[in-house]
Structure 1
Amino acid sequence: MTDTGTDIATGTSVGTGTVTRRLRNGTRAWHEALETTGFATAMLAGTLPLDRYVGQLAAYHMVLETLETELARAGCPSVASVWSPDLVKLPLLERDLRHFAALGTAPEPGPAAQEFAEEIRRTAATEPRELLGFLYVLEGSTLGAMFLCRYVTEAYRLTDGNGASYYGSGDRARWTAFAERLDRALGEPAVQERVLAAAERAYRHIALISGELSAGLDSPAPV
């Protein structure tokens, strides 16, 4: 790795190279904006209603089911050199959603998740390397989830990882290996620009998902 950055959510150092440094710097404003949404502030305050938390899991399930499917079958060498089975998160989300469904909480993903999934499919058909921009954002979000996991487990009294499998899935060693593969795969500046643009689109879609889940949360609501 050629540079060292700081993970915004945790304040810890995270090694990055050329591509990941550009992606981090290029999407910083989106990242910071998401930290101020009603959804995020309510989660940190311990007042996020359970159905909003599970609603995010349902939305991410739709998005990651589409993204992981397209990444696994992409014929692009760049994608194949970055995508790895250890990055799969869908089973974790399915485990969490089953847990909450058994308790009677099973919200459907909103229109924003469907729009993101549709964009993933369009991107896979036209320029599969841009899928790596989506993957960068979603894999990176698990580092922030490591910091947030304790808020989730405390707010909803979750034990033994039940209901928090996805939020507890962050792994710094996995992130470092992923970032190194990404740096090696995307050496052309023009390709880096396209992947950065895709990462920005991913953040836009996540912001729309967060906006849906933030509706009515201007005043903290009880769990």
Structure 2
Amino acid sequence: MTDTGTDTDTVTQRLRSGTRAWHEALESTGFAAAMLAGTLPLDRYVGQLAAYRVVLSALEAELASATCPSVASVWSPDLVKLPLVERDLHHFAATQGAIPDPGPAAEEFAAEIRRTAATEPRELLGFLYVLEGSTLGAMFLCRYVTEAYRLTDGNGASYYGSGDRTRWAALAERLDRALGEPAVQEQVLAAAERAYRHIALISGELSAGLGAPTPEPVQPAVSP
């Protein structure tokens, strides 16, 4: 596991620095490049939504039912994203027909979420950090999506348009309060890295034929 933080960093600062290489690697995928270029096939965009439906269904269900005090103090109903993904998929089912299968990588991520909930529920917060953080990036990408697929009135872009910096700041504050112990922070950081690996596999499936391999981050130096 990588960790470029210091003992005085908050958990969200450690999560940000410890996963930066993964974040940058995902930006180099064929999926990301095609989206920025406005050439991403619609079925790949809808395929990502279908994959995230599987992942969010598992994650949000486990977070909502967790009895772990740390999870209960961080999770909030305003973080729910599954209905937004469902709304987008309903739009495309009505306008385009069949929805692509989510692919095995999404199912593998969902299975890990359920295993983690049963063994180390606090690590679910590392998954939450990554998935909620991805909506901030989606805020930037939303205009590319709406222009490429001529989406109007938010139809088909509910999930990509769901990022909220105020909500993110509140989540970060709760994470910092709940995860003060260094050993727990290490666990949550490791979980965030696992989440990024799963998302990389999903992106790899969606990038097939678009000219870029599944991302592998360049690992930063490990702090002593």
Give me the TM-score of the superposition, normalised by structure 1.
0.90
Q: Which residue of 2 aligns with 1:123?
A: 116
Q: Which amino acid aligns with 1:29?
A: A
Shift of 1:43: 0.2
Q: Which residue of 2 aligns with 1:182?
A: 175
- Distance in structure 2 (CA, Å) of the matches to 1:199 and 1:61: 19
Q: Which residue of 2 aligns with 1:163?
A: 156
Moved over 2 A (4+): none
Matches within 5 A, 1:41-80: 41-80=33-72
Shift of 1:160: 0.2
- Distance in structure 2 (CA, Å) of the matches to 1:181 and 1:174: 11
Pick from 1, 11, 25 the counterpart of residue 17 of structure 2. 25
Matches within 5 A, 1:1-223: 18-103=10-95, 104-218=97-211
Identity %: 87
Q: Which amino acid aligns with 1:137?
A: V
- Distance in structure 2 (CA, Å) of the matches to 1:105 and 1:132: 33
Could you tell me whether the CA contact under 8 Å between 1:54 and 1:100 is conserved in 2?
A: yes
Could you tell me whether the CA contact under 8 Å between 1:143 and 1:172 is conserved in 2?
A: yes
Shift of 1:102: 0.7
Shift of 1:108: 1.1
Q: Which amino acid aligns with 1:197?
A: A
Shift of 1:218: 1.5
Deviations 1:59-108 (A, max 9, x none): 00000000000000000000000000000000000000000001214111
C-alpha RMSD of the superposition: 0.9
Aligned residues: 203
- Distance in structure 2 (CA, Å) of the matches to 1:188 and 1:84: 22
Give me the TM-score of the superposition, normalised by structure 2.
0.90
Shift of 1:143: 0.2
- Distance in structure 1 (CA, Å) of the matches to 2:146 and 2:211: 23
Q: Which amino acid aligns with 1:48?
A: L
Q: Cα–Cα, structure 1 residues 105 and 149, in superposed 2: closer, same or farther, change >3 Å?
A: farther
- Distance in structure 1 (CA, Å) of the matches to 2:100 and 2:74: 33
Q: Give 5+ residue unaligned stretches, structure 2.
A: 1-8, 213-224
Q: Which residue of 2 aligns with 1:13?
A: none
